[in-house]
Amino acid sequence: MLDLRVPSGWFFTILGLILLGMGVFAPDTRAALTDANVNLYSGVPMLAFGLFLLAMARRATHKPS
């Protein structure tokens, strides 16, 4: 049975990479009323969360016997 952390982890990892790429390679694309690079600042934690979910799913499948 597939662990729910695997597809969720891939979703957040891919979305985080897209946002991180937009924040790095298109920094002039900003939110309407702010000067902050929202894509960059939201892509980093989203990528970290996705990688964390994938690591926890992998750790759950490799239990020592």
Q: What is the pLDDT of residues 26-60, one digit of tens each?
A: 888 777 788 888 899 999 999 999 999 999 999 88
pLDDT at res. 1: 65
Q: For residue 23, is it left (φ>0), alpha (ψ between -120 and 50) or beta?
A: alpha
Q: What is the pLDDT of residues 6-33, one digit of tens each?
A: 999 999 999 999 999 999 998 887 777 8
Reported pTM: 0.84
Distance CA 41, CA 30 (A): 11
Distance CA 50, CA 41 (A): 15
Q: How many domains does the structure of the chain reveal?
A: 1
The more confident residue out of 62 and 24 is: 24
Print the domain residue range for 18: 5-25+37-61
Residue 52 lies in a domain: yes
